[in-house]
Chain A
Amino acid sequence: MSVFSDPTNRDVYVTGFLWILKLTLASSVCALVLGTLLAAMRVSPVPVLRGFGAAWVNIFRNTPLTLIVFFCYFGLYSTLGFTTSNDLELNNYWLGVVGLSVYTAAFVCEAIRSGINTVPAGQAEAARAIGMTFRQTLTSIVLPQAGRAVIAPLGSIFIALAKNATIVGTIGLMESSNAMKQLINDNGNAVFAIFFVFAGTFAVVLIPTGYGFGWLADRLAVKR
């Protein structure tokens, strides 16, 4: 454990996990918004939108995340010239957020769509019977009930997202996995201690998060 008493090493460790936190927060917001939109598309009466939603899910859900993040750097940034910031780290950070968001949105979309299936057909029929449009039915009748039904699966998706965030290390952000690599390279004699501290940090943060989502799901469930 003496590795972590050195302030420089501690700084590497803390910065690494701060990047993970920032990546997870920004990407979960983007993925939630994007995923909900995609779910709405997939149940909409417009065939083009349905096709677009289905294509998105099938493409991004079945592509390895490493490739998506890698493409964000070498495709989106290198070849197409898409930049978000002149600062190298920030630019890589936002490219990472783009990659994580488009990938996670596919899973969020499928979770919400399965939630929509738990809402009894009578609810949507009743809404239509009193003259509500598709948009009104979706936003004020179906989605609120569907959302409450899928809090637990969404929790799993966000926990997976937090761990997936380490993949942004492949395009050079000094997040936790790169921080771990650096510490191991400098302190070859404490490989196991370093490894378990990094793995333990994830476990200590994510296990309570999982229970938190479980508790929230219980509380907000639609009692039928």
Chain B
Amino acid sequence: MRITRLAATFGAMALVLAGAACGGSSDKAGGSGSGGGASGIVGKAAGGKLTFGVKADQPGLGLQTGSTYTGFDIEISKIIAKGLGVPESGITWKTTVSANREAYIQQGQVDVVVATYTINDARKQKVNFAGPYYVAGQDLLVPVNSTITGPESLTGKKVCSVSGSTPAKRIQTDHKDAQLQQFDSYSKCVTALAGGQVDAVTTDDIILAGYASQPQYAGKFKVVGKPFSTEPYGIGVKKDDTAGCNKINDILKAAATDGSYKKAWEDTLGKSGKPAPELDTSKLTNCS
């Protein structure tokens, strides 16, 4: 009796470990093998349908209310869909979170990701980036009467960000003298900021501007305005879809000159009072 039980225990452990090994290897296979070249977004758009992965919880950028999505990322998605010849009725929106964007593109759950998606080298190994369509920077959101003037005055202050995010990690590594409070969403951080439990909320300035312009917080918070990082927001497509990526860059170039980019800004984030940024077409990626 004892022996069978022991054997069962080790059997269960072996299963778990075998699972871990499988997970690791299948992951690698997915990285290189998936995503047939013929099914690029240009080919898919000819069918009149595209699925966009967007954020659902960031006011001003990608916010879901009921079944409709609004924000700057959404407007950019619409410009791209239009450029590819997909009518607005052919767009399917899908909520993505930071952790599943690469996986969604690779598995084909979404065709294009426009979700505050910072271009970096680790991600470039998994997906192809068009853009950037906006360059954000990490900044601080503080109460209007706060004494915090920038990242250098954070010593001993309580700073809030989303757990596991890049801004949170930057505070941990570059500003060790600040205390970091992490929540699973920015809205909890903003609640804690309103209640005085934390002294500042930190993430990309464009996201903070979205929260600052929400009606219930109007006049209470300000964005410090001293960005201490560079976050170029890209548009993610499948790794081998170079044609689709180039096409999106062409669409962005056209949008910069015909005023539709400016209009997208003014309809969404422009409401916070921030003037429309210049879309620098010379900085667009080469899609390789």
User: Hey, which bits of chain A sit against chain B, CB under 8 A?
Assistant: 1, 74, 77-79, 87-89, 92, 169-172, 174, 178, 181-193, 195-197, 199-200, 203-204, 207-208, 211
Contacts and interface: CB of A to CB of B under 8 A. Distances in A.
13 contacts: A74-B191, A172-B160, A182-B163, A185-B98, A187-B122, A189-B31, A189-B122, A191-B27, A192-B23, A196-B19, A196-B23, A200-B19, A203-B16
A189 B126 contact: yes
Contact of B164 (A1, A178, A204): A178
Given A1-B24, A189-B31, A195-B23, 4 more contacts: A77-B197, A190-B27, A200-B19, A204-B13
A224 B103 CA distance: 58
A100 B179 CA distance: 24
B163 A199 contact: no
Contact of A78 (B16, B23, B123, B197): B197
Contact of B163 (A174, A197, A203): A174
A138 B101 CA distance: 58
B283 interface: no
A183 B12 CA distance: 26
Contact of A211 (B9, B20, B125): B9
A53 B163 CA distance: 37
Nearest to B127: A188
B78 to A, nearest CB: 27
Interface in B120-154: 122-123, 125-126
B102 interface: yes
Interface stretch (B181-189, B249-257, B272-280): B181-189
B55 to A, nearest CB: 14
B3 interface: no
A114 B288 CA distance: 67
Question: Which one of B126, B158, B164, B197 has the greatest number of beta carbons of chain A within 10 Å?
Answer: B164
Assign chain B's interface to a size class.
35 or more
A185 B99 contact: yes
Contacts of A200: 16-17, 19-20
Interface of B: 5, 9, 12-13, 16-17, 19-20, 23-24, 26-27, 31, 98-99, 101-103, 122-123, 125-126, 158, 160, 163-166, 168-169, 179-184, 191-192, 195, 197
Main secondary structure of the interface of B (DSSP, over half): helix
Contacts of B103: 188, 191
A170 B102 contact: no
A169 B13 contact: no
Contacts of A1: 24
Contacts of A178: 163-164, 182
A186 B173 CA distance: 14
A192 B197 contact: no
B242 to A, nearest CB: 20
B20 A197 contact: yes
B184 A188 contact: no
A203 B12 CA distance: 9
Nearest to A195: B23
A182 B169 CA distance: 8
A172 B181 contact: yes
Given A185-B166, A193-B20, A88 B181 contact: yes
Contacts of B123: 188
A191 B122 CA distance: 13
Given A182-B164, A192-B24, A211-B9, A88 B122 contact: no
Contacts of B168: 182
B19 A170 contact: no
Nearest to B26: A192
Nearest to A70: B188
B231 to A, nearest CB: 14
B121 to A, nearest CB: 11
A54 B184 CA distance: 34
B163 A169 contact: yes
A171 B27 contact: no
Contacts of A188: 99, 101-103, 122-123, 126
A95 to B, nearest CB: 11
B142 to A, nearest CB: 17
A207 B12 contact: yes
A65 to B, nearest CB: 15
A189 B179 contact: no
Contact of B182 (A172, A203, A211): A172
A13 B125 CA distance: 24
Contacts of B9: 207-208, 211
A111 B87 CA distance: 61
Given A178-B164, A203-B16, A186 B23 contact: no
A190 B184 CA distance: 21
Given A88-B181, A188-B123, A207 B163 contact: no
